[in-house]
Amino acid sequence: MISEDAPRNLVITPRYGTYQPGDRVQCSAEGNPVPSYHWTDMITGNVAQGPLLDISQDMTDKSHTFQCTASNAISSISSSLTFTVEGINTFASLQ
């Protein structure tokens, strides 16, 4: 019998240094069944489906906090990423 496991070991892989439009941040986790992912913009409440968060042109010169949630039929787990895109200088931190 195959055991089912809640999502665990959530990892957000940010790119430290400069974020540019077109960059991506990845969220991953272990679990059985395989988790599905979504990113929530903690300021606007907008939700993007999938494990990749695209850094877009409209994010320039703004501070952002996104929460990645990995979920399956058993449970869910979340972690947040805060970053600022300021032209060529960007700061990112995991929470």
Residue 64 has what pLDDT? 86
Residue 61 has what pLDDT? 75
Number of domain units in the chain: 1
Residue 92 has what pLDDT? 55
- Residues lower than pLDDT 70 in the chain: 1-2, 15-21, 86-95
Q: Which domain holds residue 36?
A: 5-94
Residue 80 has what pLDDT? 93
Residue 17 has what pLDDT? 55
Q: Find the CATH number of the domain harbouring 64.
A: 2.60.40.10
The 8 Å CB, 24+ separation contacts for 89-93 are: 89/18, 90/17, 90/18, 90/19, 92/14, 92/15, 92/16, 92/19
Residue 24 has what pLDDT? 84
The predicted model scores a pTM of 0.82
